[in-house]
């Protein structure tokens, strides 16, 4: 490449960085929660976009940006304390643009050697951080749901070698998966998609801290074996969606080893804590997982969709997904083509956003970002307690479930949104009454943001419309 061409490219991406930084501050100073109806947006779109004649691209871009700013919950706002949709690092935004511009096809190694190796390099580094063995096979996925689905499909393929050919109807036993009520509800969909049906899911009891009760797990597995069922897999969650709870991973690993069960760890958002010297001890036992889900598009702060699936049994992954066909470019001996190792066929360059962000910040920069959020969680816990709120959950992660006597959570949230104070949600833990749930998902959230929000929340709590009569 000639020098002048390289300079033009650098300027182009430099502008993207500047614009992204400008947008970041625009969002941080704007509203968080929209008030809009489907009809309002539909009639606006119908009035402007019938696609009969071309429009100026700049005008359309400006219009789209305005729609997004007006009519979205702003998950990158520092006072979005929501489900784990993160603020995004600018390096990862630039990466998404680069991936779109070059549009590499990652289905086979031969069509995208550079992109495939960048992904492989990033995943191998992270697999090492998790303590998984060097032969671990890993891939980027669309998100945690695809990774969890992959885990079930691969576990089935390993346990039942004839499944690929005969399907579930060829089995003379029924596989069972064990998880708690705190596991992600996507497993219900997965059980249906995998053809197992929801009856294949066993809900294991939780202890008072909402962690899986290993004694109940043992009891249920023994009972199922006695009934002629085929216990297959235990799902340990490392950072439950509702309450940030970490199941007792070392105990589950030991149990699975003794019982010859597949140990899957769903660390979709909590997994990033492995980069933090302060937090990683809470993930002890994760290195024993047969398979692991961890999302880059959660606590690694890159744009959606970027999940990751790790599995220590590469042969099982191959038998689940192998699908050779003559029209695809030829294999290389040294590596497995991604279309033969994942549910996807055509593959986007998902991993570049994590690679670029990691390269820019380094491991220590990432640890700092993650620990900042954990610290903000502690600030929120402290501030809520001092102001008379009651904390319901226990977790080292920055997710706080809390309430107050007499609070009607849905009414409270309506008031909170109306005043643009913050976005948070409500949740029911272990069939209890609804409580508020706030998760620090933005590395830009500050102590001042938190103190201000808690002050405003206490003010709203004094209003009678948020109290039960």
Ligand X SMILES: Cc1ncc(COP(=O)(O)O)c(C=O)c1O
- Residue 127's SS3 state is helix
Residue with smaller CB distance to ligand X, 300 or 443: 300
Name the segment binding ligand X (CB under 6 A); options: 149-157, 262-270, 338-346, 433-441.
Answer: 262-270
Sheet holding 434-439, edge to edge: 390-391, 399-403, 434-439, 425-428
Does position 307 interact with ligand X (CB under 6 A)? The reply is yes
Nearer to ligand X, 184 or 404 (CB): 184
**At its nearest, how many Å lie between ligand X and the CB of residue 149?**
9
Q: Which CB, 186 or 231, lies closer to ligand X? A: 186
CB of 252 to ligand X, least distance (A): 15
HSE, CB side, 13 Å, CA atoms: give it for residue 391: 20
According to DSSP H, which parts of 160-232 are helical?
163-166, 186-193, 214-226
- Residue 134 in contact with residue 290, Cβ under 8 Å? no
Q: Does 287 bind ligand X (CB under 6 A)?
A: no
Q: Are 106 and 336 in contact (CB under 8 A)?
A: no
Among 33, 155, 268, 273, binds ligand X (CB under 6 A): 268
Q: Binding of ligand X at residue 295 (CB under 6 A)?
A: yes
User: Per CB under 6 A, does 108 bind ligand X?
Assistant: no
Q: Does 143 bind ligand X (CB under 6 A)?
A: yes
CA distance 426 to 403: 10
Is the CB of residue 214 less than 8 Å from the CB of residue 262?
no
Query: Can you name the residues that pair with 230 across neighbouring β-strands?
Result: 175
Please state the closest distance from residue 246 (CB atom) to ligand X, in A: 11
**Contact at 8 Å (CB) between 387 and 407?**
no
**Residue 338 lies near ligand X (rule: CB under 6 A):** no
CB-CB neighbours of 4 under 10 Å:
7
By beta carbon distance, the residue nearest ligand X is 144
By CB under 6 A, residue 145 contacts ligand X: yes
Asked if 300 touches ligand X (CB under 6 A), the answer is no
151-190 mask for ligand X (x: CB under 6 A)?
---------------------------------x-x----
Which of residues 224 and 266 has its CB atom nearest to ligand X in the complex? 266
**Interaction of residue 86 with ligand X, rule CB under 6 A:** no
Based on its alpha-carbon atoms, the radius of gyration of the chain, rounded to whole angstroms, reads 24
Secondary structure (DSSP) of 210-221: S-B-HHHHHHHH
Contacts with ligand X by CB under 6 A lie at: 83-84, 143-145, 148, 184, 186, 237, 241, 266, 268-269, 295, 307
């Amino acid at each position: 490449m000639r020098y002048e061409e390289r300079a033009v490219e650098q300027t182009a991406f430099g502008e993207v960085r500047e614009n992204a930084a400008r947008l970041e501050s625009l969002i941080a100073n704007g509203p968080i929660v929209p008030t809009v109806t489907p009809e309002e947006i539909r009639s606006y779109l119908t009035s402007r976009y019938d696609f009969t004649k071309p429009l100026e691209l700049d005008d359309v871009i400006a219009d789209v940006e305005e729609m997004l700013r007006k009519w979205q919950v702003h998950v990158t706002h520092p006072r979005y304390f929501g489900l784990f949709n993160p603020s995004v690092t600018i390096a990862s935004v630039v990466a998404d643009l680069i991936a779109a511009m070059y549009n590499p096809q990652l289905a086979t190694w031969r069509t995208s050697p550079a992109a495939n190796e960048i992904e492989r390099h990033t995943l191998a580094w992270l697999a090492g951080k998790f303590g998984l063995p060097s032969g671990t096979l890993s891939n980027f996925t669309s998100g945690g749901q695809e990774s969890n689905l992959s885990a079930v499909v691969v576990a089935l393929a390993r346990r039942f070698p004839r499944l690929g050919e005969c399907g579930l109807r060829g089995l003379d036993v029924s596989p069972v998966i064990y998880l708690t009520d705190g596991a992600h509800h996507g497993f219900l969909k997965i059980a249906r998609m995998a053809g197992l049906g929801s009856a294949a899911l066993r809900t294991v009891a939780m202890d008072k801290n909402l962690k899986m009760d290993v004694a109940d797990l043992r009891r249920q597995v023994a009972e199922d074996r006695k009934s002629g069922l085929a216990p297959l897999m235990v799902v340990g969650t490392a950072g439950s969606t509702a309450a940030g709870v970490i199941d007792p991973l070392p105990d589950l690993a030991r149990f699975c080893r003794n019982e010859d069960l597949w140990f899957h760890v769903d660390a979709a958002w909590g997994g990033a804590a492995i980069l933090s010297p302060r937090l990683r001890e809470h993930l002890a036992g994760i290195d024993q997982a047969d398979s692991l889900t961890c999302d880059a598009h959660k606590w690694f702060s890159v744009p959606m969709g970027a999940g990751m699936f790790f599995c220590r049994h590469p042969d099982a992954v191959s038998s689940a997904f192998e699908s050779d066909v003559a029209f695809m470019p030829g294999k290389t001996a040294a590596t497995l083509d991604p279309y033969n190792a994942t549910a996807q066929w055509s593959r986007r360059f998902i991993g570049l956003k994590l690679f670029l962000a990691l390269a820019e910040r380094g491991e220590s920069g990432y640890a700092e970002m993650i620990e900042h959020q954990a610290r903000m969680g502690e600030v929120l816990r402290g501030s809520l307690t001092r102001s008379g709120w009651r904390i319901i959950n226990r977790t080292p992660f920055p997710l706080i479930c809390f309430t107050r006597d007499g609070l009607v959570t849905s009414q409270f949230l309506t008031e909170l949104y109306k005043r643009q104070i913050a976005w948070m949600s409500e949740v029911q833990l272990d069939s209890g009454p609804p409580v508020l749930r706030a998760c620090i998902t933005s590395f830009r959230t500050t102590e001042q943001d938190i103190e201000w929000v808690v002050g405003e929340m206490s003010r709203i709590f004094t209003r009678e419309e948020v109290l039960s009569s």
